[in-house]
């Protein structure tokens, strides 16, 4: 289907006619030969001398070409375009931030796997998180890691391969040995400031208690609730440990409660996988459907035809004029005198 993006431009079509009818004609002064007995000639002929004007006539070919070129130029201004069939695409209406604890305690090798063996806490967490990221096709995600301080590894992006690659390159202790839980929430809030999507989800995973934050985790959670951020907190590790290595389940639960999210405790790899499945059930992915019609401009066709008609008409007029001049010379010089 072909349509006009600016059909109002067609009102310019009668403009040359209006100019021809309403504007005064163009006048030029020409040199003339003055002779003294002109009045005697006019008197003898019974004519009256007055100012004269010559209206130049244009060849019919030039008029037709001018009309066609003007119509094509106006058509180009109306922006004709070919409209394709509707194309629908879906995009997620949710942004997700992953905030993962990489403090020194995540180096403990007590994270149970389904086959009964144990491995490093962070390695077990990373494997499950990688599977979770792979299933977020269509979501925008950001990655934050925190220890003594919180660091934004990747802003909100739909390039999930980059998130997975950054997770692969992350090691325990890169952000310091302590746990800045409140700072991680605060950095997540700032990350969401660039988001225009209403559904904002923060998945916060930690195995320790807050010991290095400049902001209380509870206060940070209250600010997150005001900004429309829903927090799902996950505790891993040993609740019976002492000191910083003891996972603070009470604080993690309070953080989730403040934002209307949910709290989970995962003591092994299978339980952590179940947690992420539960998160999918509690916060299903919302999808926004966008539909558009591809459009291809055809103005260049009208302009090209106008240029082609103009060039051809000028060339033909030159040929016609040349033939007329040649015919005039032949008439003036009949060519030879017979003996």
Query: So what's the pLDDT on residue 338?
Result: 45
- SS3 label, residue 296: strand
User: 25-35: per-residue pLDDT in tens?
Assistant: 777 777 767 76
Assess contact for 158 and 138: CB atoms under 8 A.
yes
Which of 41-50, 125-134, 143-152, 204-213 is most confident?
143-152
CATH 3.40.50.410 fits 90-291, yes or no: yes
Assess contact for 175 and 204: CB atoms under 8 A.
no
* Residue 213 banded pLDDT, cuts 50, 70, 90: confident
Assess contact for 145 and 151: CB atoms under 8 A.
yes
Query: So what's the pLDDT on residue 145?
Result: 94
pLDDT of 55 above 70: no
Domain map (residue ranges) of the chain: 2-21+52-85+295-331, 90-291
Assess contact for 282 and 262: CB atoms under 8 A.
yes
Instruction: Report yes or no on whether pTM surpasses 0.75.
Output: no
CA distances 84 to 124, 285, 293, 305, Å, are 49, 30, 6, 24
pLDDT of 283 above 80: no
pLDDT of 56 above 70: no
Residues 109 and 68: their CA atoms lie apart, in Å, by 83
Residues 122 and 276: their CA atoms lie apart, in Å, by 16
């Amino acid at each position: 289907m072909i349509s006009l993006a600016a059909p109002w431009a067609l009102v310019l079509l009668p403009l040359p006619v209006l100019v021809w009818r309403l504007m005064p004609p163009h006048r030029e002064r020409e040199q003339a030969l003055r002779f003294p007995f002109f009045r005697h000639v006019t008197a003898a002929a019974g004519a009256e001398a007055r100012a004269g004007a010559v209206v130049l006539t244009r060849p019919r070919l030039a008029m037709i070409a001018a009309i066609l070129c003007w119509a094509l130029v106006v058509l180009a201004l109306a922006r004709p375009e070919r409209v394709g069939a509707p194309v629908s695409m879906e995009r997620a209406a949710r942004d997700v931030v992953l905030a993962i604890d990489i403090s020194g305690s995540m180096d403990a090798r007590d994270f149970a796997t389904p086959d009964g063996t144990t491995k490093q806490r962070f390695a077990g967490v990373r494997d499950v998180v990688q599977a979770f990221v792979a299933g977020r096709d269509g979501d925008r995600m950001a990655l934050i890691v925190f220890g003594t301080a919180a660091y934004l590894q990747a802003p909100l992006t739909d390039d999930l391969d980059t998130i997975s690659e950054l997770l692969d390159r992350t090691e325990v202790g890169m952000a310091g040995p302590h746990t800045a839980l409140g700072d991680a929430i605060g950095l997540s809030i700032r990350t969401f400031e660039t988001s225009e999507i209403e559904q904002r989800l923060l998945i916060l995973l930690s195995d320790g208690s807050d010991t290095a934050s400049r902001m209380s985790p509870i206060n940070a959670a209250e600010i997150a609730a005001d900004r429309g951020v829903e927090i799902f907190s996950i505790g891993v590790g040993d609740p019976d440990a002492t000191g910083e290595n003891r996972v603070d389940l009470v604080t993690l639960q309070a953080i989730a409660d403040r934002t209307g999210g949910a709290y989970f405790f995962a003591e092994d790899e299978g339980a952590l996988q179940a947690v992420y499945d539960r998160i999918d059930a509690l916060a299903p992915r919302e999808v926004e459907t966008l539909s558009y019609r591809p459009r291809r401009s055809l103005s260049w066709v009208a302009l090209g035809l106008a240029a082609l008609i103009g060039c051809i008409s000028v060339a033909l007029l030159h040929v016609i004029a040349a033939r007329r001049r040649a015919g005039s010379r032949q008439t003036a010089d009949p060519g030879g005198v017979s003996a």
